[in-house]
Amino acid sequence: MARVVVVGAGLAGLACALEATTAGHHVVIMERSERIGGRGTTQNFDGFPFGFGPHLFLKKGPFHDLVRKLSRVRLTSSPIQLHRVEVLGHGVVRPVDDVKASILAKKILREASSNERIVRGCRFLASWNTSEISERYAGLQKNKLLVSNEGWSGMVGRMAAALDEVGVFIECGLHVNKIETGKVHLADGREIETDVIVLACGPAAARKLIRSVDEEKAKEIFSPLQRTTASFIEVGLDSKSLSGRQAIVDVDNQFAILDYRAIQPRLGLEGCHLSAVAVGGLETDPGETRFSSEGERLAALTNFMNQRASGWKEHIVQHSEQAKITILDSNEYRIPQRAFANVGILLAGSWIESEHLLADASVDTGRNAGRSISSAIR
């Protein structure tokens, strides 16, 4: 049995801890914020499950698979449906009142030619990333991209409850500010001895921590990583919006607005819950620069909301927004999980090599790290 410290209680850290405990190791999770779930969680305000921008999960993907196995209580969810998704410059993707257009759209989507606007729109909605044809793109066409009835906080809560049952401590408010082989240093001055450290704290924090172990290698391995940032706006409104659409996508500007209530009517209250996102476009993001600052990007997203959900500002019950958050931790290049295994450190997150994307990659690599603990013991 090894002593394992997992740094970060996001989806990757929680998934890793579940797996490592099952393998018989003694695990502690250290999380610098006061809440668990990282970017993949929600918080309820007046019944609106607000999160960090629009989040859809793939049916039977690693995240869904793990969560549904943890509890006997069925996880209820609803799919986003292409007959209620509009791509600007094209219209509704698969209109129910135009069978011919709908069949043609199905064919175009299957062929996935990247010049077609609906293909680009669906790729964007599926993975916030137009450069990859992903399992999520196929999932969107088969009604397999889902909104959770209980919000992502419910799914994270199931992971936390399972960890609690097996006696894993999740220590919130603990900032790990230095690591070395076999030791973790906390910002409050304490030092914890451990056999294996799993860095599930996002690439920026992981790079900072690992520099003190092997600066040269950290530079070589982390430098090619390219993150993509986004701005998001989440609003709970006491009115209907988006004219019954579940989502509107502007593929030219990489904007999308989702109405969770239209996707999942059982979410409760009247009105709607809009979650809007603007992806990339800053100088530091991959691709062309469209905005001089994150403030300008957020203002452009607000303008998009004004055009597509007119009057939304007069109906706000709850509101949250952020000008800059990392939405994609990596582009095509990802880091090998075991790049630092020889010094007792494993890595987990959506920036680690995996056949999956986004939250699914975090859970997949988290679980793999949990299973590989024995091979990283020094």
State the residues that interact with ligand FAD by CB under 6 A: 7-13, 30-33, 38-40, 52-57, 175-176, 200-202, 205, 230, 232, 277, 325, 327, 349-350, 358-360, 362
C-alpha to C-alpha distance for 235 and 206, rounded to whole angstroms: 32
- The per-residue DSSP string of 139-156 comes to HHHTT-EEEETTHHHHHH
Least Cβ distance, residue 360 to ligand FAD (angstroms):
6
Among 206, 194, 217, 215, which residue's Cα sits nearest to residue 350? 206
Numbers of helices and strands, H then E, in the chain = 12, 20
Q: Closer to ligand FAD by CB, 93 or 233: give it.
A: 233
Q: Closer to ligand FAD by CB, 52 or 124: give it.
A: 52
Token pair in block for residue 122: 């669906």
Least Cβ distance, residue 170 to ligand FAD (angstroms):
11
Among 326, 360, 337, which residue's Cα sits nearest to residue 221? 337
Q: Closer to ligand FAD by CB, 171 or 214: give it.
A: 171
Least Cβ distance, residue 101 to ligand FAD (angstroms):
27
Q: Closer to ligand FAD by CB, 148 or 241: give it.
A: 148
Q: Closer to ligand FAD by CB, 197 or 277: give it.
A: 277
Measured CA to CA in angstroms, residue 300 lies from 152, 194, 204, 232, 306 at distances of 27, 48, 27, 11, 10
Least Cβ distance, residue 279 to ligand FAD (angstroms):
8
- The letter for the amino acid at 356 is H
C-alpha to C-alpha distance for 322 and 311, rounded to whole angstroms: 21
Contacts 24+ apart (CB under 8 A), 171-175: 171/28, 171/29, 171/30, 171/31, 172/9, 172/31, 172/33, 172/34, 172/35, 172/36, 173/31, 173/32, 173/33, 173/34, 174/30, 174/31, 174/32, 175/32
Q: Closer to ligand FAD by CB, 33 or 239: give it.
A: 33
Q: Closer to ligand FAD by CB, 81 or 115: give it.
A: 81
C-alpha to C-alpha distance for 305 and 294, rounded to whole angstroms: 17
Least Cβ distance, residue 301 to ligand FAD (angstroms):
11
Q: Closer to ligand FAD by CB, 101 or 133: give it.
A: 133
Least Cβ distance, residue 269 to ligand FAD (angstroms):
22
Total Cβ atoms within 10 A of residue 290: 17
Least Cβ distance, residue 209 to ligand FAD (angstroms):
6
Least Cβ distance, residue 315 to ligand FAD (angstroms):
23
Among 248, 184, 180, 245, which residue's Cα sits nearest to residue 214? 180
Classified as helix, coil or strand, 171 is: strand
- Residue 317, CB half-sphere, CA atoms under 13 Å: how many? 18
Least Cβ distance, residue 15 to ligand FAD (angstroms):
8
Q: Closer to ligand FAD by CB, 327 or 376: give it.
A: 327
